[in-house]
A and B are shown apart, each in its own frame.
Chain A
Amino acid sequence: GAVVSQHPSRVICKSGTSVKIECRSLDFQATTMFWYRQFPKQSLMLMATSNEGSKATYEQGVEKDKFLINHASLTLSTLTVTSAHPEDSSFYICSARQRDRVVHEQFFGPGTRLTVL
């Protein structure tokens, strides 16, 4: 149980285009979903936290107009990178926290590799 999927696993796009990444909790309801970004040979940096039905909370330095997060249901969150540029190329990982769990463990998706040309 507690599986999180991401789609697509890899995406290559041209500079200036927008890219949408989906994150789904497959067998549980997620009260909260998190989006992380990981640059090569670096750690995971939290970008934003989203609760179902609420606006996302962005970490300092993350542009909310560039990284649009929608958490429309308890099983789906999307991250849209708008007007992507080469510096947005990164590994994006989502994570979901299970509803009604005593310990608020986070389950991670497999990640999406974004390359902006």
Chain B
Amino acid sequence: AQSVTQLGSHVSVSEGALVLLRCNYSSSVPPYLFWYVQYPNQGLQLLLKYTSAATLVKGINGFEAEFKKSETSFHLTKPSAHMSDAAEYFCAHFSGNTPLVFGKGTRLSVIA
């Protein structure tokens, strides 16, 4: 069965510091991978997606992620954190025609 694992339920960084949110996937077939952000009491916003084209994917708000097949990873990064980046981040994955499967989420806190 396919799944995604997000390492760290809570990550705290200082404003201006590097953001690194980890996601590993398991799939027997090539996956489609996504990162979503959710602000309190709101729906999901797509940050970026990997669809087997370029392995380095750039998204909105300065985020990017790199697909590494050898490590089965799709970690999300941002060079410099802003206060407005504080939110819940979800990695998601599907293969073939299956529904999106979400990781448990990582809450990002940004300290001034």
Contact = CB atoms under 8 A, between A and B. Distances in A.
A114 B65 CA distance: 34
B56 interface: no
A80 to B, nearest CB: 20
Contacts, number: 38
Contacts of A43: 90, 102-105
Contacts of A45: 102
Contacts of A42: 104-105
Interface residues of B, number: 18
Interface SS, B side:
loop
B42 A111 contact: yes
A42 B104 CA distance: 7
Interface SS, A side:
strand
B104 A103 contact: no
Contact of A93 (B32, B44, B97): B44
A95 interface: yes
B105 to A, nearest CB: 5
B43 A93 contact: yes
B42 A110 contact: yes
Interface of A: 34, 42-46, 49, 93, 95, 103-106, 108-111, 113
